[in-house]
Amino acid sequence: MWVIRREQKVHTWSVDANQFVADEDDVTYSCRVSGALLLEEVVNSYGREGIDAIMNGAKEHFKESQQKKASGSKVWWRMREATLFALASLSEQLVDLEVSEPSRVDIAKLLEQIITEDIGIGVHEYPFLYARIFTSVAKFSSVISHGVLEHILYAAIKAIGMDVPPPVKVGACRALSQLLPEANKELIRPQMMGLFSSLTDLLNQASDETLHLVLETLQAATKAGNESSTSVEPIISPIILNVWALHVSDPFISIDALEVLERDFLWLDKICAPYPNGGLAVRNFKLFNETLLGKWLWRFRVEREAFWRQVVMTKYGSLEGGWTSRLADGPYGNSFPELYRIACEKDAYVADHIHIRDESVHWEVNFTRLAHDWELESISTFWESIYSAFVKGFGEDKICWKPAQKGFHVQSYYSALSPFGADFFFLREASGRLKSPLELHSSPRQLRWGEF
């Protein structure tokens, strides 16, 4: 099953990197996907015995490929590449067992044996095996020795700048994305300028499926390069901005490009700043996405009779915790985690802590012990926060948008999320009971939790 590979596919992948990446990432239906699911079921059903059987099979296939190679077979590499693919599909289970019982699995020893034997073969003759070695090392980097990782890292950097088949460059990018953040900065520093130059060339050539991969690799390189990335910023930044401009209608690629700039080149905040603040008012897509999530949060609470809301509630409303099958951990415990840890009643509603008599509000929150000196400031801020809330204690629960009486406005929420706006989004609950799946599933940053 693992070695089934049509010659037409091999030819297509040899010249079309986009198709190779698309087929590699395809998890819908193929012979290999079916095989991976079968192996996963073996592990889930038989546990360590299943893993032992799979490892024994992998070792047998490796020996068989060695015999075919020695006999002069031209397709010996296919069985070895398929073996690496099979092992990589179970990387999480194998790594966990390698860490807990290294002598039982010994996946690192088998992989290093395959890698050291094959990494010196012709990259043009066996591009798919080279690509699989790179991607497999990325999956098992936590258990492979530092010496082998450094060797693969150098080989991947070299491959990016060479005239090699597309699958090799794809595999090298996947390896670099995983290995660069943990690499020894002193050892890779001499290679970084050449790597930036090669990635920039790839960025100009990439499209569709490969563009995201190159941007991801470039982001890993800028994080690892530090000083080198600063020196090449004037060269790389215009190219990335051009990528963003060409793909501005594609939300995924445009966000990838802006995230590279946002995380690695500090001046992005300046171009995203409003005109009065000296910026170019370029929309920050990451913040804008959070703004749109906030809009649907607002509509979910306000449009209670809408058909789409009824569909959501029918599918998810009966589950504890909203859209997740377990109780979410927000918003409680986020603003004052040190106080939440010592709270007597961690699962209580806000309504359980409030007492209202003749429009006079009294809050009663009990802790398991007296506060330490370093916790007094948090306690003071906590009391100020809850007593500043306007609570009636009666009426229907509702969500309120303080900046405008007419209700939620996307532009004002975007301003609130941006560094140049104010934190003025508040959710109010008359009873203190929080039931909206959207609220429970959103992060505090997205919701701007305030008064209840």
C-alpha 385: how far from its chain's center?
33
Residue 24 above 70 pLDDT? yes
- Contact by Cβ (8 Å): 184, 154: no
Lookup: tokens for 146 = 């530092």
* Distance from C-alpha of 254 to C-alpha of 261, rounded to nearest angstrom: 11
HEC letters along 191-208: HHHHHHHHHHHHHHHCCC
The closest of 301, 286, 329 to 417, measured between CA atoms, is 286
Residue 298: C-alpha distances to residues 294, 398, 407, 408 (Å) = 6, 10, 9, 7
Q: What pLDDT, on the 0 to 100 scale, is given for residue 399? A: 67
Which of 78-82, 302-306, 395-399 shows the lowest mean pLDDT across its residues? 395-399
In angstroms, the CA 66 to CA 127 distance is: 18
pLDDT tier, 64 (very low <50, low <70, confident <90, very high otherwise) = very high
User: What is the model's pTM?
Assistant: 0.58
Per-residue pLDDT at 425: 37
Model pLDDT for residues 329-341, shown as the tens digit of each residue: 444 446 787 888 8
What is the average pLDDT score of the chain? 76
For position 324, what pLDDT does the model report?
Answer: 44
The three-state secondary structure class of 397 is coil
pLDDT in tens, 326-372: 444 444 446 787 888 888 887 787 778 888 877 788 888 888 888 88
Neighbouring residues of 300: CB distance < 8 A, sequence distance ≥ 6: 309, 312, 436, 437, 438
**Residue 241 above 90 pLDDT?**
no
User: Which tens digits make up the pLDDT trace of 122-169?
Assistant: 778 888 888 889 989 888 888 888 888 888 898 899 888 888 888 888
For residue 60, the model assigns a pLDDT of 92
